C-alpha cells in the first residue's frame, strides 16, 4: 500500500476520534483536540492527492477511497454540529444531498468512461466548508464570532448550491442517453 493510500486510511481512522472529542463533555479541552484532529485530517486530504499525482501513485483504491474519506470527515462534522445545535438540520441536508448527487453523477460518468474533475466552485465550496467547520468546532460564545460563523454557514450553503448547479450544467451530457452504453 502506497503513502497516499495510507494517508487516506489514516484520515478515515481519525474520524471516530474526531467525533468522540466533538461530542464529549468529559475530556478537558476536547473541542481543541477535535479541531486539531479535523485540521490534520483535512491536511492529509490535500497531501495524499498531491503525493499521488506528483509521484504517479494514483490507484483505483485511492480514486475510490479519497473522496469517500473526505465526505465521511465533512459529513461527520456536519452531523455533530446538528447534534450540538450549532447549525440547522435543513442546511446540513442540503449540503449532504449535494454530495450524494455529485457522487451519483460521477458514478454514471465513470460508467461511461468519463472522468469529471472538481471545478472552481466545488473547490471554493470545500474551502468555505472547512473554514465553517473549524469555526463551529471552536465555537466561541461572542456576538462577533457568531456573526462570522453565520457568514460562513450561509456562504457554504450558497457555494454548495452554486457548485451543484454549475457541476450539473457543465456535465449535463453525462446523463444524455447517447453517451450511455
Q: Residue 75: is it exposed, middle or buried by C-beta count within 10 angstroms (0-12/13-18/19+)?
A: middle
Buried b (16+ CB within 10 A) or exposed e, 19-49: bebbeeeeeeeebebbbebbeebbebbeebb
Give the residue numbers spanning the domain of 152.
86-174
Question: Does 104 lie in the same domain as 60?
Answer: no
Asked if the structure places residue 181 within a domain, the reply is no
Asked if the structure places residue 40 within a domain, the reply is yes
Alpha helices in 55-142 (DSSP H): 60-83, 89-111, 120-138
Question: Does 128 lie in the same domain as 115?
Answer: yes
Q: What is the pTM of this model?
A: 0.88
Question: Does 67 lie in the same domain as 4?
Answer: yes
Q: Which sign, positive or negative, has the C-alpha torsion 84, 90, 95, 101?
A: positive
Q: Choose one of 69, 85, 101: the last residue of a domain.
A: 85
Question: Does 66 lie in the same domain as 141?
Answer: no
Q: Cell numbers at residue 18, please?
A: 474526531
Question: Does 168 lie in the same domain as 121?
Answer: yes
Q: Choose one of 85, 120, 153: the last residue of a domain.
A: 85
Assess contact for 92 and 82: CB atoms under 8 A: yes
Question: Does 93 lie in the same domain as 164?
Answer: yes
As a whole number of angstroms, the distance between CA 175 and CA 173 comes to: 5
Asked if the structure places residue 180 within a domain, the reply is no
Question: Does 73 lie in the same domain as 55?
Answer: yes
Angle at 98 between CA 96 and CA 103, to 5 degrees: 100
Q: Digits of tens for pLDDT over the chain (181 positions)?
A: 899 999 999 999 999 999 999 999 899 999 999 999 999 999 998 898 889 889 999 888 888 888 889 889 999 999 999 999 999 999 999 999 999 998 888 888 878 777 777 788 988 998 899 999 999 999 999 999 999 999 999 999 999 999 999 999 988 888 775 555 5
Buried b (16+ CB within 10 A) or exposed e, 65-74: bbbebbeebb
Q: Choose one of 85, 114, 146: the last residue of a domain.
A: 85
Question: Does 162 lie in the same domain as 94?
Answer: yes
Q: How many domains does the chain have?
A: 2
CA 138 → CA 9, 86, 122, 124, 156, distances in Å?
Answer: 25, 11, 24, 21, 17
Amino acid at each position: 500500500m502506497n503513502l497516499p493510500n495510507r494517508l487516506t486510511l489514516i484520515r478515515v481512522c481519525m474520524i471516530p476520534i474526531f467525533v468522540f472529542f466533538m461530542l464529549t463533555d468529559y475530556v478537558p479541552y476536547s473541542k481543541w483536540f477535535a479541531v486539531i484532529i479535523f485540521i490534520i485530517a483535512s491536511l492529509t486530504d490535500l497531501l495524499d492527492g498531491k503525493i499521488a499525482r506528483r509521484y504517479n501513485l494514483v490507484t483505483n483504491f485511492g480514486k475510490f477511497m479519497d473522496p469517500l474519506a473526505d465526505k465521511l470527515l465533512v459529513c461527520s462534522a456536519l452531523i455533530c454540529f446538528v447534534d450540538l445545535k450549532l447549525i440547522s438540520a435543513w442546511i446540513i441536508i442540503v449540503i449532504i444531498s449535494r454530495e450524494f448527487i455529485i457522487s451519483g453523477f460521477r458514478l454514471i460518468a465513470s460508467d461511461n468512461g468519463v472522468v469529471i474533475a472538481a471545478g472552481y466552485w466545488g473547490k471554493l465550496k470545500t474551502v468555505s466548508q472547512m473554514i465553517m467547520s473549524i469555526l463551529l468546532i471552536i465555537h466561541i460564545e461572542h456576538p462577533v464570532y457568531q456573526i462570522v460563523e453565520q457568514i460562513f454557514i450561509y456562504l457554504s450553503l450558497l457555494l454548495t448550491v452554486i457548485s451543484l448547479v454549475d457541476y450539473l450544467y457543465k456535465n449535463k451530457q453525462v446523463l444524455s442517453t447517447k453517451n450511455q452504453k
